[in-house]
Structure 1
Amino acid sequence: MGNSGGSVTTRYSGDLHPLLREAGFSDVDDSRAVGEGWQVAGFAHAGGDALETLVRATGAPAIVVSFFDSDVGFVRALAPDGTGWKGLLNRETAEGYEIPLERFPVEPAVTGALAWAVAAGVTPDEEAVRETFVASAVFAEDLAADLLAALGIPDAQ
């Protein structure tokens, strides 16, 4: 059985762990630094407004990927200025689970991701971002790492 938790990535220089718990993320792993003040942490579950609460608490952009058995990744991102978007990783596998793909169109996800990256102060690679939304992988976590790198988050791979 694969991962059914998720990962959260944000630009924050302090101790992220207590803020994640207060925001509604449960069973949070220790965070790891990935470059230029960005941190990544795993979690078992996130409350419905955990992303919004975290962005308000840190004043920093954040991206959350929730995994369904390591097969599919549901992506949500938000910047302090309100720039946000959602996307889906591993579309072909998601279709096998009868996840309605029309709820996660690729081009709005790409457009939103690019705007979010600019608001987050990183430089995205548009084609690489698009590729993560149409690519297939054995593990959705691999696509999530590719997405972070494509968004321009330093050392995210």
Structure 2
Amino acid sequence: MGNSGGSLTTRSTGELHQFMRAAGFTGIDDTKAMAEGWQVTDFADAGRRSLASLVQRTGEPAVMVSFLDSDVGFIEALTPDGNSWEGLLNREMAMSYEIPLEHFPVEPAVARALAWSAAAGLTSDEEAIRQTLTGSALFAEELSSALMVALGLPGAA
């Protein structure tokens, strides 16, 4: 059985775990530093408004990927000024779960991801974002890692 939790990537000048708990994240794991203040933290579960609450509390952009048994990744991203987007990782596998792909159109997600990245002060790679949103992998976490690089997150690997 794979990962059914999630991964949160954000900047934080305070105690990120406290902000995450206050925003409704549970099962918070260790935080790993990336570069330029960006951090990534795995978690077990998040509430429906957890990402919005966290961004409001920290005043920093964030991207969250929630995994379904390591097969599929549901992306949510938000900046403090309201730039947001949603997407889906591992579309081919998502079909086997009968997830309606029409709820996650690729081109609008690419456009909004580019806008989110710019609003977050990052330099993204449009084609690489598109590839992560249309690609397949054994584990959705592989596509998530590639997406963080494509979004231009410093220190993402």
TM-score, normalising length: structure 1: 0.99
2:8 equivalent in structure 1:
8
Deviations 1:46-93 (A, max 9, x none): 011000000000000001100000000000000001000000000000
Q: Identity of counterpart residues, as a percentage?
A: 62
DSSP 3-state at the match of 1:9: strand
Q: Is the 8 A contact 1:13 1:38 kept in 2?
A: no
Runs of 4+ with >6 A deviation: none
Instruction: Return the letter of the residue paired with 1:9.
Output: T
Distance in structure 1 (CA, Å) of the matches to 2:57 and 2:100: 33
- Counterparts of 1:2-41 in structure 2, within 5 Å, are 2-41=2-41
DSSP 3-state at the match of 2:34: strand
Distance in structure 1 (CA, Å) of the matches to 2:38 and 2:125: 18
DSSP 3-state at the match of 1:122: coil
Q: Answer yes or no: is 1:117 the counterpart of 2:102.
A: no
Q: Answer yes or no: is 1:141 the counterpart of 2:151.
A: no
Shift of 1:101: 0.1
Distance in structure 2 (CA, Å) of the matches to 1:49 and 1:111: 23
Deviations 1:18-54 (A, max 9, x none): 1101100001001111111100000000011000000
Instruction: Return the letter of the residue paired with 1:57.
Output: R
Distance in structure 1 (CA, Å) of the matches to 2:115 and 2:12: 20
2:104 equivalent in structure 1:
104
How many residues are treated as equivalent by the alignment?
157
1:60 equivalent in structure 2:
60
Distance in structure 1 (CA, Å) of the matches to 2:34 and 2:14: 14
DSSP 3-state at the match of 2:111: helix
RMSD: 0.6
Distance in structure 2 (CA, Å) of the matches to 1:91 and 1:127: 17
Instruction: Note the residue ranges of structure 2 that are not aligned, 5 or more in a row.
Output: none
Shift of 1:96: 1.1
Distance in structure 2 (CA, Å) of the matches to 1:156 and 1:13: 19
